[in-house]
Amino acid sequence: MKTKVLMAILAVVIAGLIAVPWIASYFYVFIFTEILILGLFAASFNLIFGYTGMLSFGHAAFFGIGAYATALVLIHLEWPFLVCLLVSMGASALLALMIGFLSVRLNEVYFAMLTLAFGMMVFAIAYQWRSVTNGSDGLAGFTLGSFGLGLDLTLANPSVYYHVVLGIVAIAAIVLYLICRSSFGMILKAIRQNPERVSFAGLNVRTYRLVAFVIAGTFAGLAGGLIAPFLRVASPELLHWSMSAEPILMAILGGTGFFLGPFIGSAAFVLLETWITTYTESWMLVLGIILAMMVIFFRKGLLGTAIDWWMEVKK
């Protein structure tokens, strides 16, 4: 019964998402494209935070690298979009392997500091290496050519791009979900709860943490590859730690204990941002206050709080 209700809700949501370009204005097509891309970014972050218990403050490094990789390939090689995304995923996987190798060995406090520091290192490189990254201005002026696989799609059309993003994010989310549900995902959960027990069981915790870190980085890179053509620019801000704060807040906002939490958090975040920035410039101030309140009072997020409330009512 419970799963049937859930499936029904999910089916309605998916049907609604597919229908967005026909029932809503262009403004909302853009909003929903952003929600989906940032949702994937946050879901990839939650694989290491919510599932494995590693709080990274440098996840934007992989997101930004993905964006730069797609932008660079589009500018210099003009390959099909699907190939660009694969390059983005490869680049961020490699970067995640390097940063992860140095960071996952140490405890939570060190891990937080190291991911932040290495994230800002990548930011510094993008900022200083002007000949490749065009410094603080970022890379712009690239155009999307073909999609790949012989499909004839006008990617410049926001509605078409929205559907492409929806399809890719849906596939990526299913893959991430299967990873979380697999025995590998169960081990990650066990590591969050008790790493000593897991290593006593004969498993190499460090390797599992590293693999989780690389998978999360790879999917963040995919999200980055999707954001560059959407924003029409790959700039250092995508690598800055304020960008790393966004998936943290989305995951906490939606609920770190649920697979769909980050997507709900992303929707709440983007809608809130759109609404608040019409009133004030100081979005980061509001973001900080919301984060503090969520951490202190609603640690389970919107989804967790709603489920707790529902259970209470049913009793």
Partner 1 sequence: MSGIGAALLNSLDIGLLLFIIAVGLNIVFGVLNIINFAHGALYMLGAYLAFTLINIAGMPFWAALILAPIGVAILAVIIDRVLLRFIYSRDVADSLLLTFAILLIINESVRMIWGSGIHVVQPPDLLSGSVQLLGSSVATYSLFVIVIGLLLLAGLWYLFNRTRVGRIMRAAALDRDMAEALCINTRLVVTGVFAFGAWLAAVGGVMAAPMRALDPGMGDKIIIESFIVVVIGGLGSFPGALLGAIILGLIHGFGGRYLPEVNLLLPFVGMALVLLFKPNGMMGKGANA
- Residue 55: name the closest of 213, 203, 194 by CA: 213
Stretch of 61-69, 83-91, 99-107, 222-230 contacting partner 1, by CB under 8 A: 99-107
Told to check if 130 binds partner 1 by CB under 8 A, we report: no
How far from 70 is each of 63, 124, 131, 155, 159, CA to CA, in Å? 11, 19, 17, 14, 20
Residues of 176-193 as b/e, b for ≥16 C-beta within 10 angstroms? beebbeeeebebbebbbe
Give the contact letters, 24-63, x = binds to partner 1 (CB under 8 A), - = no: -------------------------x---x-x-x------
Total Cβ atoms within 10 A of residue 296: 8
CA 40 – CA 53 distance, rounded (Å) = 18
Q: Locate all alpha helices (DSSP H) within 232-260, ordered by sequence.
A: 241-254
The residue (of 63 and 142) whose beta carbon lies closer to partner 1 is 63
- Residue 51: name the closest of 218, 258, 303, 202 by CA: 258
Told to check if 110 binds partner 1 by CB under 8 A, we report: yes
Told to check if 5 binds partner 1 by CB under 8 A, we report: no
Dig out the tokens for 305 from the structure. Answer: 């709080």
Among 82, 94, 125, 231, binds partner 1 (CB under 8 A): 125
Angle CA 306–266–194, to nearest 5: 65
CA 301 – CA 42 distance, rounded (Å) = 14
Told to check if 132 binds partner 1 by CB under 8 A, we report: no
The residue (of 15 and 109) whose beta carbon lies closer to partner 1 is 109
Please, what is the minimum distance in Å from the beta carbon of residue 280 to partner 1? 9
Told to check if 292 binds partner 1 by CB under 8 A, we report: yes
* Pair 48, 189: CB distance under 8 Å: no
Told to check if 72 binds partner 1 by CB under 8 A, we report: no
Stretch of 40-48, 122-130, 133-141, 262-270 contacting partner 1, by CB under 8 A: 122-130
Stretch of 115-123, 136-144, 216-224, 300-308 contacting partner 1, by CB under 8 A: 115-123
Give the contact letters, 268-287, x = binds to partner 1 (CB under 8 A), - = no: --------------x-xx-x
* Pair 56, 41: CB distance under 8 Å: no
Told to check if 155 binds partner 1 by CB under 8 A, we report: no
Q: Give, as ranges, the residues between 158 and 217 that touch partner 1 (CB under 8 A).
A: 195, 205-206, 209
Residues contacting partner 1: total by CB under 8 A: 45
Please, what is the minimum distance in Å from the beta carbon of residue 97 to partner 1? 14
CA dihedral defined by 172, 112, 55, 264, rounded to 10 degrees?
A: -70
| Residues lying near partner 1 in the complex (CB under 8 A) | 49, 53, 55, 57, 102, 104-114, 116-118, 120-121, 124-125, 127-128, 195, 205-206, 209, 241-242, 245, 248, 252, 282, 284-285, 287-289, 291-292, 295-296, 299
